[in-house]
Structure 1
């Protein structure tokens, strides 16, 4: 189930927190789950640089529920390529030995997700959809009859059933299945087929892996299920900050940034963070900290102000896109330049006393209802990096989750195996995993490096030629998600595989529809 190059981590043998993991530049190239060296693209180790002496996140006594995965993004600020030399930065060789020269590890949850996120089940969402379509609660369901018939069909098509259970799909969401709140029609059709509307009546495993963020998982899956008119469970859903719940075991008092209203505070509460601060709390305490902000009475009433000169904020978590760049950047910059996260102070050393900052994803662009993709969290991060370097002369080191980060894909393996257990009672990762995405720089490059089959669709960010030149999809480029999925199914299940269930099917005829007289 795990990428073999990182098996020492995936099987629970953690590096000591004060000892950095071995640099992948000294190790063999990453291999796929089945021992085949990657041939399609550069590996994580050759594409990125890891700090050799960076110190991992703080020790948390009694913390045994996380896995620490080596970070694969460069710790150096991406802003440097966009900037003139504003000043000569001090040598970073020695400074990277400091406590906050992090970037060596990204914690992800070790165990399966439990009811902390939600207790919603596949059946729960089906009931909700039935309610939304006007079905009576006492109405007899016909599905058990169909399941019995499908079971008989599967009994006489054992080879195809094995193939269907040995493949899985990983879907990006925005630009693949939806555009914001607007459905991409092929997305609904694909999910219907994978949820059993096929010749075997079998559920083909699939999960959702998105760099979207800003809402609790349950709220996002309910919204997605309504748009797609198909059940979506939290147990098959990963948004960019979902793996970041592991950080609650390391930090207690955190600043959470981004998202609409106070939804990201709700996310952090569900993840188990103890003391959660949002920018509005700080503005309510001292409006002069954000001189260009118009702070309404309603915002003040819903804030939680206190004397933040007496509070040590341990880390900054950017969970989602900022809705107010000026205010969020000002507060983050004050904290990054403070003495160990205490507002109103200024650190003597901008590195050794700096608190860590985590970003849930690094995408520059995101497809929306607007015809041209909009700037995303990556643009906000680059702006912060440029501002920090201009003020301090030092590159901002940071940790970035989300695609194409290795930690996200390792966590996806855990979720795929768990969902396979829900569907088919087999807790494993199928051999043939297909990543369907629209962004070559995140969906495709990450899937390629993890040994997945990657499919690039033209309904989102990518609008190029035959394939992306820098990060080509190894399985192909398709007009939409339906073409990608059906092509993959025909490869694994045969060219004659039918993508619709026929109620006239007769198991005696080996899955073929009976003749109508």
Structure 2
């Protein structure tokens, strides 16, 4: 899973532009860029943060490259781009500017080990459709398993309407290759039970259980599990933060460790993606490089050039990348770990009373809103806001 192939960014310049035009175009490229979190930075729930539109339009006007990187997900990147565009009322955001927590999972479709997957989280069967678009061949969701055998989750919250609308026929005797947690679970009880069943199954077959005594390394589950992010809490319209996918991970690990009688020093083996992990920041860096090429050439409709999972950019046109977020644990720490600049806002999870206890402090500063932050950075880089 960690093995990667070398990735070489293929420049589209040479075949389309004379040398003089190429030189002129390159002079237009910015040597700094922005990466924005979404929830708590540009929007809160389904409502806009007032200053988001002017901040993004200022960057568009000055041709400063930026992308959006969120630990949210459960929908296609184009749907998230359209949602943020609609809520903020800004110029259209391109889907190629969006990195959701599960976006790097596209790379897994190149591995034959990941043909049939259980996808967890998201509304309805949106996550299933995302997984199919990414290229996974056979996608199962917990609702499929519950409909096939309701005793799997006797206290499930699914309605008859849910089963009719979202469930698909499933062969419970066919092994599942991996568990992909795309988004926060919607029926926590069912998802907890089904995930635990599969982690402790005989080779990923529902309704079976492996013998603990026959397992060489009890920290290794029967099939791999990948969490698309580790956000313990997130901000929405409610005045206090709400539990996120990170809370589901804690529950999953605790139950697995207890079931397998692990020592305190042992823990379930899993891959955790999303912010603040390096894998996610490296992937976003590739996306930012690709987007910079596209806006510099004026060709924002060409195919996106993406890396393999875990691949580090060999070269970058950026002297500085500014991560703008509201969560010190994911946005700010991740930026520091990756060598980016960091900007913290007061419009989301972070509160000033938390300052003494936050895990990482911003390198640029704390600002009341995203517009103030963008103006400050632009001025610092000699660009008129």
The normalised TM-score by structure 2 is: 0.83
Aligned partners of 2:147, 2:8: CA distance in 1, in Å? 38
Aligned to 1:304: 168
Aligned to 2:312: none
Aligned to 2:377: 488
Aligned to 2:342: 454
Aligned to 1:176: 41
Indicate if the aligned counterparts of 1:190 and 1:481 stay in contact, CA closer than 8 A. yes
Aligned to 1:193: 58
Name the SS of the counterpart of 1:429 in structure 2: coil
Aligned partners of 1:401, 1:67: CA distance in 2, in Å? 19
> How far has the Cα of 1:425 moved from its partner?
3.2
Name the SS of the counterpart of 1:195 in structure 2: helix
Indicate if the aligned counterparts of 1:467 and 1:476 stay in contact, CA closer than 8 A. no
Alignment of 1:110-509 (within 5 A): 165-196=30-61, 202-230=62-90, 231-250=92-111, 251-302=114-165, 303-308=167-172, 310-349=173-212, 351=218, 354-394=222-262, 395-425=267-297, 428-465=316-353, 469-493=358-382, 497=384, 499=385
Aligned partners of 1:484, 1:328: CA distance in 2, in Å? 39
> How far has the Cα of 1:487 moved from its partner?
0.7
Residues 474, 353 of structure 1: CA spacing in aligned structure 2 closer, same or farther, 3 A cutoff?
Answer: closer
* Residue deviations 1:155-174 (CA, integer Å, cap 9, x gap): 9xx9xx96971111110010
Aligned partners of 2:234, 2:29: CA distance in 1, in Å? 32
Residues 162, 469 of structure 1: CA spacing in aligned structure 2 closer, same or farther, 3 A cutoff?
Answer: farther
Alignment of 1:18-29 (within 5 A): none
Name the SS of the counterpart of 1:415 in structure 2: helix
> How far has the Cα of 1:397 moved from its partner?
1.3
Aligned partners of 2:245, 2:131: CA distance in 1, in Å? 18
Q: Which has the larger radius of gyration?
A: 1
Residues 353, 195 of structure 1: CA spacing in aligned structure 2 closer, same or farther, 3 A cutoff?
Answer: closer
Please report the RMSD computed on the Cα atoms of aligned residues, expressed in angstroms: 2.4
Residues 112, 363 of structure 1: CA spacing in aligned structure 2 closer, same or farther, 3 A cutoff?
Answer: farther
> How far has the Cα of 1:390 moved from its partner?
1.8
Indicate if the aligned counterparts of 1:416 and 1:429 stay in contact, CA closer than 8 A. no
* Residue deviations 1:79-108 (CA, integer Å, cap 9, x gap): xxxxxxxxxxxxxxxxxxxxxxxxxxxxxx
Aligned partners of 1:241, 1:112: CA distance in 2, in Å? 22
Residues 353, 380 of structure 1: CA spacing in aligned structure 2 closer, same or farther, 3 A cutoff?
Answer: closer
* Residue deviations 1:257-303 (CA, integer Å, cap 9, x gap): 00000000001001100010001110111000001125433233242
Question: How many residues matched?
Answer: 342
> How far has the Cα of 1:369 moved from its partner?
0.9
Residues 275, 163 of structure 1: CA spacing in aligned structure 2 closer, same or farther, 3 A cutoff?
Answer: closer
- Alignment gaps of 5+ in structure 1: 1-55, 60-65, 69-109, 114-154, 197-201, 500-517
Aligned to 2:15: none
> How far has the Cα of 1:345 moved from its partner?
1.2
> How far has the Cα of 1:478 moved from its partner?
1.0
Name the SS of the counterpart of 2:352 in structure 1: coil
Alignment of 1:48-63 (within 5 A): 56=1
Aligned partners of 1:425, 1:289: CA distance in 2, in Å? 54
Aligned partners of 2:333, 2:194: CA distance in 1, in Å? 33
Indicate if the aligned counterparts of 1:254 and 1:313 stay in contact, CA closer than 8 A. yes
Residues 179, 419 of structure 1: CA spacing in aligned structure 2 closer, same or farther, 3 A cutoff?
Answer: same
Report runs of 4+ in structure 1 exceeding 4 Å deviation. 110-113, 161-164, 465-469
Indicate if the aligned counterparts of 2:329 and 2:358 stay in contact, CA closer than 8 A. no
Indicate if the aligned counterparts of 1:455 and 1:477 stay in contact, CA closer than 8 A. yes
